[in-house]
Amino acid sequence: MKRALVILAFSVLIFGLIISYDITQCDGQVLMRHFIKSDYEPVLEEAYEYEPIKPEKTTDKGQDYFGETTIEKQETEITGDIPEEIEEAVEDYTEEDASRGYEYYFDLLSDTEKNVYRAMYHAFENIESGNAIPTVDEEAMNRVANYIRMDHPEFFYATDLGYTHYTMGGQVVKTVLAVTYSDSKAAIKNQLSYIDDLSDQILSLIPAGADDYTKAKVIYEWIIENTDYRLDAPDNQSMTSVFYNHQSVCAGYSRAYQYLLNKAGVDTTIVEGNSLISGENHAWNLVKLPDGYYYVDCTWGDASYMKNGFSGEQVAGMNYDYLLVTTDEIKRTHSIALENLLPACTSTENNYYVREGLLFMDYDYDAIKNVFDTAISEGRQTVSFKCANLEVYDRIRRELISNNAIFDMLGEDASTISYVEDEEQRTLCFWL
């Protein structure tokens, strides 16, 4: 998603010191300001990378996943006797339900649609085509295909999907699935093995005995630290773009997050909709924690998304505004496509700022200074915190920036203060 960039610069002479402000705006929102007393600028460390030896992909197909929710339909009229293979009954895969993992959208289907879903899943998992499936109308078939796409990011290799109705006298007697895969069965299994090994390494970063909040946070941070937002990233509609190339767009970010968090034992699905800022299609996640559902948007938490297409502008390395937020919060910037089918996210107990003690109900110099002191002692690069309302946000911003309290908190050695402000989210982020 390209975003308009406007740079405003001005300087004033105060007590013999040149203090300049560089203001970067993105879609009308301030991204970055430098509050400068010297020529020093902090340099962000590069994200670490590690991975097992990955197999070569023999094809670059799979970028479009299923591509569209409408799948190709064909009809073949049978004349004479019904062929033996057409007479074969559709298999019942109900016993496989328990082994498939978390499936939010599966539970929204009718009983007949669930049987279609089960047959599709069996075909995709076993990298098969030509499987018999229950006969449903075209609308139901498209709904099932869309829901299995949203429930199972690991089926990235199913690139094209269609089905054939075999008819006699205009009546459908059997429906057969047709699937095109991105590679050979052996190559796909090798790719899945690599992703599984890498996922185990990523999940090993989660402390033993960690709660679901910690799991959600660690995986959020890994994806952001190890992925650059690139519109031209290969396979960018698939989670493989994150695991193979470390470059993706929102579809890749959200599918990788869904895959990893489900593997960590936290129920997670994908949500599709639009950005209210640009109007473009967008994807993010719905996460179920013990106290309720939350939204997570790794893409909007990544600085490389905010500065995509531009260079030379420093923006916050990681934005926690979209880690475990409510429906009301996400709807300030997102439009939810299937909102009537999704639960209301109202809990705030496991919101990032609440859990980390970074939600301020009023201006408290000592409490804010303690946040900075702790971050410095831990060697962190940035400090971010959220304000309970706009009145608190305005006061804290005024005290820290307009009244220079930030320099008192950081000490006389602080010569440059770089920060991000977001009035819409009521958050401030400072570099250390």
So what's the pLDDT on residue 36? 40
So what's the pLDDT on residue 59? 41
Q: What is the value of pTM for the model shown?
A: 0.81
Q: What angle do CA 282, 286, 292 make, to 5 degrees?
A: 150
So what's the pLDDT on residue 278? 84
The alpha carbon torsion through 228, 233, 234, 236 (nearest 10 deg) reads: 80
Name all contacts of 334-341 with Cβ < 8 Å and 24+ positions apart.
Answer: 334/273, 334/274, 334/275, 334/276, 334/282, 334/284, 334/295, 334/297, 335/273, 335/274, 335/275, 335/276, 336/271, 336/273, 337/271, 337/272, 337/273, 337/274, 338/271, 338/272, 341/108
So what's the pLDDT on residue 410? 83
So what's the pLDDT on residue 73? 74
DSSP state of 398: I
Contact 429, 390 (CB under 8 A): no
Cα–Cα dist 14/89, whole Å: 84
Cα–Cα dist 118/134, whole Å: 10
So what's the pLDDT on residue 166? 83
So what's the pLDDT on residue 277? 86
Contact 126, 188 (CB under 8 A): no
**Torsions phi, psi of 305, nearest 5?**
-70, -45
What string of pLDDT tens digits covers the 432 residues of the chain?
322 222 222 222 222 222 223 333 333 333 444 444 333 232 333 333 334 444 554 444 333 333 345 567 776 766 556 666 665 667 888 888 888 999 999 999 999 999 999 999 999 999 999 888 898 888 999 999 999 999 999 999 998 899 888 887 777 888 889 999 999 999 999 999 999 999 999 999 999 999 999 999 999 999 999 999 999 999 899 999 999 999 999 999 999 999 999 999 999 999 999 999 888 899 999 999 999 999 999 999 987 665 544 334 445 568 899 999 999 999 999 999 999 999 999 999 999 999 999 999 999 999 999 999 999 999 888 889 999 999 999 999 999 988 989 988 887 777 778 888 888 889 998 888
Cα–Cα dist 33/38, whole Å: 14
265 φ/ψ sector (left φ>0, alpha ψ -120 to 50, else beta): left
Instruction: Give the three-state DSSP class for 223.
Output: helix
Domain ranges of the chain: 1-43+357-432, 72-182
